[in-house]
Amino acid sequence: MSDAQPVHVAVLIPCYNEEVTVGTVVTDFRAALPFATVYVYDNNSTDRTCEVAREAGAIVRQEWLQGKGNVIRRMFADLDADYYVLVDGDATYEAAAAPRMLAMAAENQLDVVTGARVTDRKAAYRPGHVLGNKVLTSLVTNFFGRRTEDMLSGYRVFSRRFVKSFPAASSGFETETEFTVHALQLCMPIGEVQTRYIERPDGSESKLNTWGDGVRILATIVRLVKQERPLLFFTILAVLFAAIGILLGIPVISDYMRTGLVARLPTAVLATGFEILAALSLVCGLILDSVAVGRLEVKRLNYLAQEAPKIMSF
């Protein structure tokens, strides 16, 4: 690191019952980034996570609201630094990649550098998780921009400008989705570095619920599309309602053209109702799109109010 431009780097490690791994994570990151301050935020652990982290040299703090998103919100609010290295406390990410990620961010003034996971170990990154990550990442990038390959990575470097402009709303693992959407929506300069990903050591258990957290992440994507791109969201609904109304109405119209009678009055009313819903959805989309543009402008101004990342070499 250049001595001419000192920089404050904070390593952030959210933890819940990680006594088996947190000592290794703290030790490895202190060795990889000796100039950084390592913080462990404990989230109501019932084991020796706090003691092990302190013994390894980390500053340990508490967040009582359960969930990774709540811990992230607290860390971002409490800590001031030029760059933040966020990593899970499960010893699955490569500490040796941190200097490369930090160098990419600092040399190019990037707001986010993601550690894109690479592994050949099925126990580390199960095929179901790989498929789920690809599907969810594809959904987000199709709506907000194709600039990332691993949306759900828990290993990232952030600039202060990102951290202090990030409106953390989630409480759980869906916070990674919010990171990605926030960066893509504001067209932030971002990058990725491939990092080795390994399985948890024996005695360590994952807190990720594959199906439950997957559904929550999908629901978060839907919510973010509705909030940030309402015209697209409600236009899709309008097309769906209109198509249903047309399908229901075709037999009614056909009977009327043939006999001059409306023989299926309930179906006709239902078809009309769907067409009205389609029109209302489109109007809602147009109105909320104006609101979303205003919100985006406020976010952008808040982002620009923060100091730009420092340019330096590591």
Same domain membership, residue 262 and residue 224: no
Distances (CA, A) of 300 to 162, 167, 305: 11, 12, 9
pLDDT (tens digit per residue) in 68-116: 999 999 999 999 999 999 999 999 999 999 999 999 999 999 999 999 9
Q: How far apart are CA 7 and CA 312, in angstroms?
A: 9
Residue 4 lies in a domain: no
Largest CA distance in the chain: 89
* pLDDT of 213: 74
User: Cα(258)–Cα(278) distance, rounded to whole angstroms?
Assistant: 27
Are 153 and 105 in the same domain?
yes
Shared domain for 136 and 254, answered yes or no, is: no
* Residue 307 falls inside a structural domain: no
208 pLDDT higher than 90: no
Same domain, 106 and 34: yes
Q: Is the pLDDT of residue 209 over 80?
A: no
Same domain, 105 and 123: yes
Q: What is the pLDDT of residue 126?
A: 60
Range list of H helices, the chain: 22-32, 49-56, 68-78, 98-108, 127-144, 160-163, 175-185, 210-228, 230-259, 265-304
Q: What is the pLDDT of residues 134-151, one digit of tens each?
A: 888 888 989 998 888 898
Domain housing 128? 9-228
Which of 164, 196, 228 is a domain's end point?
A: 228
Q: Are residues 235 and 294 located together in one domain of the fold?
A: yes
Cα angle vertex 152, ends 146, 156, to 5°? Answer: 90
Task: Find the CATH number of the domain harbouring 94.
Answer: 3.90.550.10
Cα 113 from Cα 105, distance rounded (Å):
6
**Same domain? 297 vs 253:** yes
Name every residue whose Cβ is closer than 8 Å to that of residue 64 and which is 6 or more positions away in sequence: 44
> What is the domain count for the chain?
2
Is the predicted pLDDT of residue 203 greater than 80, yes or no? no
Question: Of residues 263 and 52, which shows the higher confidence score?
Answer: 52
Would residue 82 be called left, alpha or beta, if left means φ above 0 and alpha means ψ between -120 and 50 degrees?
alpha
> Nearest Cα to 74, choosing from 156, 170, 3?
170
Q: Is 310 a member of any domain?
A: no
Kindly state whether residues 13 and 86 are assigned to the same domain: yes
Q: Is residue 176 included in any domain, yes or no?
A: yes
pTM of the model: 0.86
| 259 and 162 belong to one structural domain | no
Q: How confident is the model at residue 252 (pLDDT cuts 50, 70, 90)?
A: very high
Last residue of a domain, one of 228, 248, 281: 228
Single residue among 191, 209, 228 that ends a domain in this structure: 228
Regarding whether 129 and 183 lie in a shared domain, the answer is yes
Question: Residue 277: its pLDDT value, please?
Answer: 97
Neighbours of 200 (CB within 10 A): 17
Q: CB of 152 within 8 A of CB of 217?
A: yes
Confidence of residue 161 (pLDDT cuts 50, 70, 90): very high
Q: What pLDDT shows up at residue 128?
A: 61
Cα Rg, the chain, nearest whole Å: 24
With 0-12 / 13-18 / 19 or more C-beta atoms within 10 angstroms meaning exposed / middle / buried, residue 199 is middle
pLDDT at residue 60 tops 50: yes
Q: Is residue 312 in some structural domain?
A: no
pLDDT given for residue 85 in this prediction: 98
Q: Which amino acid does the sequence have at 75?
A: M
CA distance 267 to 252: 7
Where do we find the tokens 């067209």? 187
130 & 181 share domain: yes
**For residue 120, pLDDT beyond 80:** no
